[in-house]
Amino acid sequence: MKIKKLKPLLIKIFKKHGLNIEHSKISANALINAELVGAYGHGLSRLKMYCDRISKKVINPKPKIKIKKISQSISHIDANNSIGFVAADIAIKKAIDNAKKTGIGLVAVKNSGHYGLSGYYAEQAVKKNLITMIFTNAPPAIAPYGSLKSLFGTNPICFGTPTGSKIPFILDTSISMINRGKIRVAARNNQKIPEGVALDQFGNPTTDPKKALKGVQLPIAGFRGSGLAWMVDILSGVVTGAGHAGKVKDPFDDFSGPQNVGHLFIVFKSNLFEANFKKRIKNNISTIKRLPKIRSVPEILFPGENKFYRYKKNIKKNIIINQNIKNDIKKLIYN
């Protein structure tokens, strides 16, 4: 489907579910971006989930979002259970404003929901020539190292910096071997997941996405990944006032209340310490890119480069929508 046609359709669906026009546009843009960068687990496959949560009043379609100024640099946002896209949009813009005024912006968000891709917000800061680190927690999916029970989310870690070229450096990675969204997409499409990424509920390795969703996902790099997931839970859950230690609700399966996801946005000027940052980062990247390469790698890419090229290619094409999602869209518009 052409983006020109899809976008008004999504806006119409969100408006029908009670979001105002501005919030509907923000949400539609975030979903389309996820499709364009190839993050299908965070794109249209989640549309029905968001609408179901709004209908069941566990996402507040008319939130009264409060922004508390702690200092010129620091703000604390209570998102009042808004859709996560809206909370994150307000938060990154606030962090950018604070950073422009004082050099650094620090914004914590509580009572939010799933906001999609951290990199989407990081790009906004990097486009303004700022460096950023963004954290969000997520519902239990990963067992802390040594435990038999899932508690940490796939808790992505995101770092973005200008590169002196038009391609931003965006390291945006979940700490699980595989993104939970990808497992959900595989389950919906009856596909297998790779080996070594999940265990079933009895602790046995599995390639069945449905069994993986009932079991545990494995963290990257054993106890190191578990430690990183814990760090993200502290930064985005404990520090912000949001849910933490396994309290963030699963958006697909738990309608007993709002998710209470937390996010933390850190944004700062790239030239705070060295005026010639641009020259230094260009030099850093070109040094690494010129290294001798292993045979199977034609080019050393920096994080974010692959998504940038994917986006550029996909923006010229139609978005392919599978039958399950087409059915969702029809029902959400006409029912």
Residues in contact with ligand NAD by CB under 6 A are 39, 42, 114-119, 136, 138, 154, 156, 158, 170-174, 179, 301, 303-304, 306-307
User: Could you tell me which residues are beta bridge partners of residue 164?
Assistant: none
**Which residue's CB is nearer to ligand NAD, number 46 or number 73?**
46
CB of 253 to ligand NAD, least distance (A): 14
CB of residue 195 vs ligand NAD: minimum separation in angstroms? Answer: 17
Smallest separation, CB 139 to ligand NAD (Å): 8
CB of 109 to ligand NAD, least distance (A): 12
Q: Are strands 66-69 and 74-78 parallel, antiparallel or unpaired?
A: antiparallel
Nearer residue to ligand NAD within complex by CB, 67 or 220: 220
Residue with smaller CB distance to ligand NAD, 172 or 328: 172
Question: What does the longest C-alpha to C-alpha distance in the chain come to?
Answer: 58
Residue closer to ligand NAD, measured from CB, 26 or 158 = 158
Alpha carbon distances (Å) from 101 to 29, 88, 248, 316: 28, 20, 33, 37
Q: Judged by CB, which is closer to ligand NAD: 42, or 76? A: 42
- Least separation in angstroms between residue 224's CB and ligand NAD is 15
Shortest Å distance, C-beta 228 to ligand NAD = 12
Burial 242-264 (b: 16+ CB within 10 A, else e): bbbebebbbbbeeeeebbbbbbb
Q: What is the dihedral angle through the alpha carbons of 101, 105, 111, 115, rounded to the nearest 10 degrees?
A: 100
- Cα–Cα distances (Å) from 45 to 113, 164, 182, 289, 313, in that order, read 16, 35, 10, 36, 21
Nearer residue to ligand NAD within complex by CB, 209 or 304: 304
Q: Which of 84, 214, 102, 97 is nearest to 156 (CA)?
A: 84
